[in-house]
């Protein structure tokens, strides 16, 4: 015990007189460990606390405060009370002692054993004796932290202080400048407002003391040591200002004033603050400022300079109307929403009917923003605006004006909250139909999209309206030649059919079917005429097919539309109706699109797996069997058609009803195996098999058949698809001996059958590599081998991709690259001159397929080789090298800058390449080079400008565009005002 | 460039921007020759020239409209009429000069470029037109480095980069 007190005394002595700051920690540890109590510490400090030297006293208090900071948890109520009394008394002491006193008080505010009433007395003496703003930064923070702590644990007591608390706070934060402290002060203010502390007569003072920072203008210091952002401050201040309707009378004039500011960010902040506060306010808070606010908002939207401010202004207007709509009205009070809307209408409506439609867009946007505030507002606005718009529409004769009006109407339809009134709906529909009959493309396109928006308003369109709409759409579909119009019509058909399937089934589908199966009228007199006739008939069929696909999203529609498509295929096969190969392919595409978009239900699943797929397979088989013998030629043996059928099957297997898909798969496999393989020149269909996660039956048998076929069959489509299928299946096999054996066998086989090399190559990249290397030296097969590198690196679209559940290992490309690039470089260096292009091609193929991030890190090592590749005569190599180079040019490595001369001259040479893509890519690269460090590229300026004059007169517009951009940048280089 | 200084026309009327040019199949066909047309010239101007007073492109201010661009690829002539935002716009000469410089840099040398103010839209139309048509005065203006600096600033693409 005696030893302890001696130790304590020495610690105190060393801290106070010896100025060793570390002793505070030791003392605190002693108190925590129970070596000595706080009481003993105070006793030991006795001399220094009463010392007449200010500095010694300060030091003593500081030791006590630091110890308390560490161990406030262990104090009991009695001790706390005494300590608080001591500290409160010290607040009156010399100013040098205040900082440690505040630290001590802050430690005590964290104490749970704070006796009742002490919080109040602490704050009273704090507010009375301390002038916060003359303290140092850290000490001010200390005061705010005290307040935050006390508000957390002693809310009721502080509320007992009444408005004095708010006054004390206002005084202490008045004039705060440091953003770190401001964040704390805003937090206190926010709590005062949110928790309902009594503000008394200090509402305005509290508002003044916080709003003087509005709008926040703060840029963090360069290295941003405290991590405070402008956004953080803005948000905190906004929370304070918008927290209570009591501030309304002060805040709204302030916002109106700040909206006049020239500073963009101030405007934006004001508008967002306005939007935020409106969620709290009621109409009586707003009443007297409505006109002012409206004037400012109108100005911001009419004379906007940035889209951000415009949209913030519109959002504020929406918030304003919805705030006014919320208000509860007395029987005698005026309806402020009505007044406000009238104000808006008065200012905006006449712009909608100005002869030149100059301010029509901003006015319409304002009205629409008001519209979307509430359903009452939208009713008021549309009732006033729509009739005049419709009238305008009928009075105007210029199509451009009419289109603008229609677009305005469409925005209104979308903006309206609940639903358009029936009157207005009819008006709109009238406009839409009249626009659809107009002979103007863009008007028709706009009209279809208005129709779509109208249809989405529930219950607005009657069945008779829909029928009329379908008639109009049908007419456009069958007669309108313009691509954009028919695209818009097809989209509209799709959207409407999803909502009203029945009408489309009964009206549109039979009509389209008729149209497709009718033969073009035979006219023998004029050949030219006949050709154009056929052309247009083909276009009609094309549009019909895409409309059929677009409308089939509901299963009831699918049930009706797919038989039509199948019938097209069927009659194309039998030749009963004359369909071109292209049309047949389109029919397959339509089926595929339906399979992609339709809802996955039992019904549609059955439709696809039990009707469509078997029918497709049997048609393909029949077509294949009849070859040669009959004089007619079925379009279904065409390679394009077969490859269009495959995705139909694979999409439906992967998307619709997995159990049914399993059945389809096993049926297809048995068809393939049990039938005679040789009679199927179209083995493309089994390639869908690996889509399934289910185990494919009789795997080994299937594999050997496929292998056989890929090596022996002479029909090119057969052997590539067999090889693809084989690859897909092998990819799925579990790793192990059987797989290795399989690959070994295949390898042997493949080596002996060099001409089918390029396709089975994908089976296993790593083993095949060695073999491919031996090929690169073979002059004849070299280019082919190089091409297969690209095959290995790319995700094959149809078989080995993720959608087909293929087993793709991560980082495959990176590993492939790192294992093989070195070998390629070595091979290049050793190869004789005429073989070098093969290596370059292989290299640029693999580099091109690497993910961009990897490219950028790996490329510097390969630069010289790639530059070499630029002068290789093969256009594909040039193109793929240019596309590798482009990302690197954005952040050029030093190695590249050293070779700038070679790079620039090769790129310039390529700008006159015969291939358009190469010219474009090289111009892009030249553009990128202009952003290199100025002193490096400036020497090339004159030369590049001269060389770029030629592509300015290129025969292709896309080349000229790149040339113009690149040349403009090079002109700016090193020129005053440029770079 | 505006800063806090007084603007001559603080509230210009802003016009809708027309969309990007749509790519057609012929654009991608290697064998077809695409002639230089009005829209192409218009695109060259509108992506790249800013009004010296406003952070907006010339199209948005309706200073350049597609209908006022006349190109004849076969005869190698380009004629452009531009409309200053207000009749007393002191920047008219500068805008005209920027348009001219941009076209000189972007078109093949064979073209004769004629830039003038839309008749009846500017107080001192004739004087400005005369300045812009005078080859030697244009060349002299571009020798003046401070003038070239302002022109280059107008031609620096802020939007695309």
Using one digit for the tens of pLDDT, what is the confidence trace for A663-694?
666 666 666 555 444 334 344 444 443 333 33
For an interface test with A, the pick among B105, B147, B160 (most A C-beta atoms closer than 10 Å) comes out as B105
pLDDT score of A656 more than 90? no
> What pLDDT is stored for residue A312 in this prediction?
92
Question: With an 8 Å Cβ cutoff, are A952 and B44 in contact?
Answer: no
CA distances, A756 to each of A7, A700, A762 (Å): 93, 21, 12
What is the C-alpha to C-alpha distance for residues A309 and A272, in angstroms, rounded to an integer?
A: 9
The separation between CA A238 and the C-alpha centre of its own chain, rounded to angstroms, equals 28
The minimal CB distance from A968 to the residues B11, B34, B106 is found for: B106
Q: Does A953 touch chain B (CB under 8 A)?
A: yes
> What pLDDT is stored for residue A745 in this prediction?
54
Q: How far is A978 from chain B (nearest CA, A)?
A: 6
Q: Residue ranges per domain, chain B?
A: 35-155
The larger pLDDT score, comparing residue A885 to residue A696, is at: A885
Q: How far is A137 from chain B (nearest CA, A)?
A: 34
Q: Does B86 touch chain A (CB under 8 A)?
A: no
pLDDT score of A603 more than 90? no
CA atoms A719, A723, A725, A726: torsion sign:
positive
> What pLDDT is stored for residue A833 in this prediction?
58
Question: With an 8 Å Cβ cutoff, are A303 and B109 in contact?
Answer: no
Could you tell me whether strands B112-117 and B77-82 are parallel, antiparallel, or unpaired per DSSP bridges? parallel
> What pLDDT is stored for residue B128 in this prediction?
86
The larger pLDDT score, comparing residue A753 to residue A261, is at: A261
The minimal CB distance from B105 to the residues A304, A305, A967 is found for: A967
pLDDT score of A52 more than 80? yes
A463 burial type by CB count under 10 A (0-12 exposed, 13-18 middle, 19+ buried) = exposed
Q: How far is B125 from chain A (nearest CA, A)?
A: 25
The minimal CB distance from A955 to the residues B33, B146, B148 is found for: B33
pLDDT score of A144 more than 90? yes
What is the C-alpha to C-alpha distance for residues A903 and A841, in angstroms, rounded to an integer?
A: 18
Comparing A231-240, A558-567, A763-772, A960-969, the range with the smallest average pLDDT is A763-772
Q: Does A511 touch chain B (CB under 8 A)?
A: no
ipTM exceeds 0.95 = no
CA atoms A191, A193, A194, A198: torsion sign:
positive
What is the C-alpha to C-alpha distance for residues B28 and A917, in angstroms, rounded to an integer?
A: 9
> What pLDDT is stored for residue A814 in this prediction?
56
Query: Chain A residue with minimal CA distance to B145?
Result: A976
What is the C-alpha to C-alpha distance for residues A118 and B103, in angstroms, rounded to an integer?
A: 80
- Token couple for A872: 């290789």
> What pLDDT is stored for residue A250 in this prediction?
92
For an interface test with B, the pick among A941, A976, A979 (most B C-beta atoms closer than 10 Å) comes out as A976
pLDDT score of A502 more than 70? yes
For an interface test with A, the pick among B46, B101, B155, B161 (most A C-beta atoms closer than 10 Å) comes out as B155
Please give the full DSSP string across A70-94, using - where no structure is assigned. HHGGG--HHHHHHHHHHHHHHTTS-
> What pLDDT is stored for residue A754 in this prediction?
36
What is the C-alpha to C-alpha distance for residues A561 and A497, in angstroms, rounded to an integer?
A: 12
Percent of chain A's residues with pLDDT above 90: 7
The larger pLDDT score, comparing residue A793 to residue A636, is at: A636
Please give the full DSSP string across A758-791, using - where no structure is assigned. TTGGGG-HHHHHHHHHHHHTSTTTHHHHHHHHHH
Q: Does B145 touch chain A (CB under 8 A)?
A: yes
pLDDT score of B158 more than 50? no
For an interface test with A, the pick among B65, B146, B152 (most A C-beta atoms closer than 10 Å) comes out as B152
> What pLDDT is stored for residue B135 in this prediction?
83
Measured from the Cβ of residue A95, the count of other Cβ atoms closer than 10 Å reads 12
Name the residue with tokens 């009463």. Answer: A50
Question: With an 8 Å Cβ cutoff, are A977 and B34 in contact?
Answer: no
The minimal CB distance from A952 to the residues B14, B56, B106 is found for: B106
> What pLDDT is stored for residue A842 in this prediction?
67
Q: How far is B161 from chain A (nearest CA, A)?
A: 11
Mean pLDDT throughout A822-836?
62
Question: With an 8 Å Cβ cutoff, are B4 and A964 in contact?
Answer: no
Size of interface A-B (CB pairs under 8 A): 66
Mean pLDDT throughout A338-353?
86
Question: With an 8 Å Cβ cutoff, are B54 and A305 in contact?
Answer: yes
Mean pLDDT throughout A594-602?
81
> What pLDDT is stored for residue A527 in this prediction?
60
For an interface test with B, the pick among A446, A965, A968 (most B C-beta atoms closer than 10 Å) comes out as A968
Q: How far is B126 from chain A (nearest CA, A)?
A: 29
Mean pLDDT throughout A391-414?
84
Assess contact for A55 and A94: CB atoms under 8 A: no
DSSP code at position B118: P
Q: Does A956 touch chain B (CB under 8 A)?
A: yes
Residue spans of beta strands (DSSP E) within chain B: 69-72, 77-82, 112-117
| B window 1-40, beta carbon within 8 A of A | 4, 11, 13-14, 16, 23, 27-28, 30, 32-34, 36, 40
What is the C-alpha to C-alpha distance for residues A861 and A881, in angstroms, rounded to an integer?
A: 14
Q: How far is A736 from chain B (nearest CA, A)?
A: 49
pLDDT score of A645 more than 80? no
What is the C-alpha to C-alpha distance for residues A945 and A930, in angstroms, rounded to an integer?
A: 11
Q: Residue ranges per domain, chain A?
A: 1-115, 553-697, 899-979
Q: Does A96 touch chain B (CB under 8 A)?
A: no
pLDDT score of B126 more than 60? yes
Task: Spell out the residues 6+ positions from residue A934 whose beta carbon is closer than 8 angstroms to its own.
Answer: A973, A974, A979
Assess contact for A683 and A672: CB atoms under 8 A: yes
What is the C-alpha to C-alpha distance for residues A892 and B95, in angstroms, rounded to an integer?
A: 36
Assess contact for A440 and A399: CB atoms under 8 A: yes
> What pLDDT is stored for residue A611 in this prediction?
81
Residues from chain A contacting residue B38 (CB–CB below 8 Å): none
Cα angle at A256 between A252 and A258, to 5 degrees? Answer: 115
- Chain-wide mean pLDDT for chain A? 76
Q: Does B114 touch chain A (CB under 8 A)?
A: no
CA distances, A678 to each of A672, A709, B87 (Å): 10, 9, 83
pLDDT score of A809 more than 60? no
CA distances, B20 to each of A566, A965, B39, B47, B88 (Å): 40, 16, 10, 10, 32
pLDDT score of A648 more than 60? yes
Count CA atoms closer than 13 A to B111's CA, side-chain side.
24
Q: Would you say how long chain B is, in residues?
A: 161
Residues from chain A contacting residue B44 (CB–CB below 8 Å): 964
pLDDT score of A714 more than 70? no
Cα angle at A811 between A810 and A816, to 5 degrees? Answer: 130
CA distances, B82 to each of A152, A382, B70, B71, B120 (Å): 67, 39, 12, 15, 11
**Backbone torsions φ then ψ of A614, nearest 5 degrees:** -55, -40
Mean pLDDT throughout A72-83?
86
Largest CA distance in chain A: 130
Task: Spell out the residues 6+ positions from residue A758 whose beta carbon is closer than 8 angstroms to its own.
Answer: A784, A787, A788, A791
Q: How far is B11 from chain A (nearest CA, A)?
A: 6
Task: Spell out the residues 6+ positions from residue A695 whose beta carbon is closer than 8 angstroms to its own.
Answer: none
Q: Does B56 touch chain A (CB under 8 A)?
A: yes
Assess contact for A976 and B146: CB atoms under 8 A: yes
The larger pLDDT score, comparing residue A733 to residue A898, is at: A898
pLDDT score of A288 more than 50? yes
pLDDT tens for each residue of A901-939? 888 888 888 888 888 888 988 999 999 888 888 888 888
pLDDT tens for each residue of A199-210? 888 899 999 999
Question: With an 8 Å Cβ cutoff, are A977 and B14 in contact?
Answer: no
Query: CATH classification of A899-979, choosing from 1.10.287, 1.25.10, 1.10.357, 1.10.3470?
Result: 1.25.10
Give the highest mean pLDDT range of A185-189, A560-564, B137-141: A185-189
In three-state form (DSSP H/G/I as H, E/B as E, the rest C), the secondary structure along A470-495 is: HHHHHHHHHHCCCHHHHHHHHHHHHH
Question: With an 8 Å Cβ cutoff, are B30 and A956 in contact?
Answer: yes
Question: With an 8 Å Cβ cutoff, are A957 and B148 in contact?
Answer: no
What is the C-alpha to C-alpha distance for residues A545 and A586, in angstroms, rounded to an integer?
A: 7
Residue from A314, A243, A313, A239 nearest A281 by CA: A243
The minimal CB distance from A952 to the residues B16, B32, B108 is found for: B108
Assess contact for A924 and A946: CB atoms under 8 A: no
Please give the full DSSP string across A216-227, using - where no structure is assigned. P-----TT-SS-
What is the C-alpha to C-alpha distance for residues A176 and A133, in angstroms, rounded to an integer?
A: 7
What 3-state class would DSSP assign to A416? coil
Residues from chain A contacting residue B48 (CB–CB below 8 Å): 968
Residue from A48, A142, A57, A137 nearest A93 by CA: A57
pLDDT tens for each residue of A91-108? 888 888 889 999 999 988
Residues from chain A contacting residue B94 (CB–CB below 8 Å): none
**The architecture CATH gives domain B35-155:** 2-Layer Sandwich (3.30)
Q: Does B44 touch chain A (CB under 8 A)?
A: yes
Question: With an 8 Å Cβ cutoff, are A957 and B27 in contact?
Answer: yes
What 3-state class would DSSP assign to A280? coil
pLDDT tens for each residue of A347-401? 888 888 776 667 788 888 888 888 888 888 888 888 888 888 888 888 887 888 8
Cross-strand pairs, B116? B81
Element (H, E) at A421: none
Could you tell me whether strands B77-82 and B69-72 are parallel, antiparallel, or unpaired per DSSP bridges? antiparallel
Question: With an 8 Å Cβ cutoff, are A915 and B30 in contact?
Answer: yes
């Amino acid at each position: 015990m005696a030893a302890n007190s001696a130790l304590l005394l020495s610690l105190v002595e060393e801290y106070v007189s010896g100025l060793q700051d570390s002793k505070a920690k030791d003392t605190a540890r002693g108190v925590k460990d129970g070596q000595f109590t706080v009481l003993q510490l105070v006793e030991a400090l006795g001399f220094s606390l009463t010392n007449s030297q200010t500095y010694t006293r300060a030091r003593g208090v500081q030791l006590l405060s630091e110890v308390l900071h560490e161990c406030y948890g262990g104090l009991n109520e009695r001790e706390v009370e005494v300590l608080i009394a001591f500290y409160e008394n010290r607040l009156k002491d010399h100013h040098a002692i205040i900082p440690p006193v505040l630290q001590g008080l802050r430690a005590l505010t964290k104490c749970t054993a704070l006796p009742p009433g002490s919080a109040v007395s602490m704050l009273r003496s704090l507010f009375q004796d301390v002038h916060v703003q003359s303290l140092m930064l850290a000490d001010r923070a200390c005061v705010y932290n005290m307040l935050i702590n006390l508000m957390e644990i002693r809310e009721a007591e502080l509320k007992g202080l009444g408005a004095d608390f708010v006054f004390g706070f206002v005084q202490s934060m008045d004039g705060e400048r440091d953003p770190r402290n401001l964040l704390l002060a805003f937090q206190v203010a926010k709590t005062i407002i949110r928790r309902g502390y009594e503000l008394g007569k200090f509402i305005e003072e509290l508002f003044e003391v916080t709003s003087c920072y509005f709008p926040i203008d703060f840029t963090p210091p360069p290295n941003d040591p405290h991590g405070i952002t402008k956004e953080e401050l803005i948000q905190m201040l906004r929370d304070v200002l918008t927290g209570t309707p009591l501030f309304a009378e002060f805040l709204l004039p302030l916002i109106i004033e700040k909206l006049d500011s020239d500073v963009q960010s101030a405007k934006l902040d004001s508008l967002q603050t306005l939007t935020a506060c409106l969620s709290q306010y009621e109409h009586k808070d707003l009443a007297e400022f409505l006109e002012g606010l409206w004037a400012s908002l109108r100005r911001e939207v009419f004379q906007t300079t940035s889209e951000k401010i415009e949209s913030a202004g519109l959002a504020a207007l929406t918030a304003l109307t919805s705030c006014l709509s919320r208000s509860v009205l007395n029987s005698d009070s005026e309806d402020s929403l009505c007044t406000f809307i009238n104000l808006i209408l008065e200012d905006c409506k006449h712009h909608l009917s100005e002869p030149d439609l100059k301010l029509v867009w901003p006015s319409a946007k304002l009205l629409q923003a008001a519209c979307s505030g509430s359903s009452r507002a939208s009713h008021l606005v549309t009732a006033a605006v729509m009739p005049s718009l419709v009238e305008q529409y009928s009075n105007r004769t210029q199509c451009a004006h009419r289109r603008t009006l229609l677009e305005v109407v469409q925005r209104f339809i979308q903006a309206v909250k609940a639903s358009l009134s029936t009157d207005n709906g009819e008006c709109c529909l009238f406009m839409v139909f009249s626009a659809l009959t107009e002979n103007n493309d863009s008007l028709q396109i706009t009209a279809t999209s208005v129709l779509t928006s109208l249809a989405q308003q529930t219950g607005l369109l009657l069945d008779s309206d829909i029928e009329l709409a379908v008639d109009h759409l049908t007419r456009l579909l069958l007669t309108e030649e313009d691509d954009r119009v028919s695209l818009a019509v097809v989209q509209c058909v799709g959207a409407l059919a999803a909502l009203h399937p029945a009408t489309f089934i009964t009206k549109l589908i039979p009509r389209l079917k008729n149209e497709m199966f009718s033969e073009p009228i035979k006219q023998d007199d004029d050949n030219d005429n006949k050709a154009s006739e056929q052309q247009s008939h083909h276009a009609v069929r094309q549009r019909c097919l895409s409309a059929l696909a677009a409308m089939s999203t509901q299963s009831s529609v699918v049930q009706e539309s797919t038989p039509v498509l199948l019938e097209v295929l069927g009659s194309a096969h039998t030749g009963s109706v004359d369909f071109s190969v292209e049309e047949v392919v389109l029919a397959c595409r339509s089926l595929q699109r339906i399979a992609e978009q339709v809802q996955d239900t039992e019904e549609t699943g059955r439709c696809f797996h039990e009707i469509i797929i078997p029918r497709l397979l049997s048609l393909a088989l029949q077509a294949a069997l009849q070859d040669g013998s009959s004089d007619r030629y079925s379009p279904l043996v065409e390679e394009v058609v077969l490859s269009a059928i495959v995705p139909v099957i694979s999409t439906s297997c992967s998307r619709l009803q997995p159990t049914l898909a399993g059945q389809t798969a096993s049926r297809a496999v048995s068809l393939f195996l049990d039938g005679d393989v040789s009679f199927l020149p179209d083995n493309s269909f089994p390639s869908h098999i690996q889509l399934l996660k289910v185990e494919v039956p009789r795997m080994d048998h299937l594999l050997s058949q496929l292998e056989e076929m890929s090596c022996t069959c002479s029909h090119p489509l057969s052997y590539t698809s067999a090889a693809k299928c084989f690859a897909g299946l092998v990819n799925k096999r579990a790793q192990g001996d059987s797989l290795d054996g399989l690959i070994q066998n295949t390898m042997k086989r493949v080596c002996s059958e060099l001409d089918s090399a390029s396709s089975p190559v994908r089976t296993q990249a790593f083993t095949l590599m060695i073999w491919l290397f031996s090929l690169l030296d073979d002059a004849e097969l070299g280019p082919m081998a190089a091409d297969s590198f690209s095959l290995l690196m790319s995700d094959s679209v149809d078989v080995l991709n993720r959608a087909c559940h293929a087993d793709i290992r991560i980082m495959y490309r990176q590993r492939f690259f790192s294992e093989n690039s070195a070998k390629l470089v070595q091979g290049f260096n050793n190869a004789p001159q005429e073989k070098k292009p093969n290596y370059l091609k292989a290299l640029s193929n693999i580099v091109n397929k690497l993910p961009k991030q990897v490219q950028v890190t790996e490329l510097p090592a390969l630069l010289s080789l790639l530059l070499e590749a630029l002068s290789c005569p093969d256009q594909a190599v040039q193109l793929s090298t240019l596309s590798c180079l482009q990302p690197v040019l954005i952040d050029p490595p030093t190695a590249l800058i050293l070779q700038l001369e070679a790079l620039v001259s090769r790129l310039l040479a390529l700008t006159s390449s015969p291939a358009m893509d190469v010219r474009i890519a090289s111009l892009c690269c030249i553009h990128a080079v202009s952003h290199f460090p100025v002193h490096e590229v400036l020497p090339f300026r004159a030369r590049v400008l001269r060389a770029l004059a030629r592509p300015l007169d290129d025969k292709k517009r896309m080349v000229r565009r790149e040339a113009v951009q690149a040349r403009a940048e090079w002109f700016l280089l090193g020129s005053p005002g440029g770079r | 460039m505006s800063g806090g200084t007084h603007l001559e026309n603080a509230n210009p009327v802003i016009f809708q921007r027309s969309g990007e040019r749509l790519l057609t199949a012929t654009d991608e066909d290697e064998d077809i020759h695409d002639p230089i047309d009005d829209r192409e010239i218009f695109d060259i101007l509108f992506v790249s020239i800013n009004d010296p007073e406003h952070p907006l492109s010339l199209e948005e201010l309706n200073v350049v409209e597609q209908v006022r661009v006349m190109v004849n690829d076969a005869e190698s002539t380009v004629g452009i009429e531009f409309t200053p935002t207000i009749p007393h716009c002191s920047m008219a000469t500068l805008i005209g000069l920027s348009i001219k410089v941009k076209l000189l840099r972007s078109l093949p040398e064979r073209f004769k470029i004629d830039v003038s103010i839309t008749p009846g839209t500017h107080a001192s139309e004739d004087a400005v037109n005369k300045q812009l048509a005078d080859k030697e005065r244009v060349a002299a203006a571009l020798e003046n480095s401070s003038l070239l600096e302002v022109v280059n600033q107008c031609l620096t693409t802020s939007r695309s980069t």
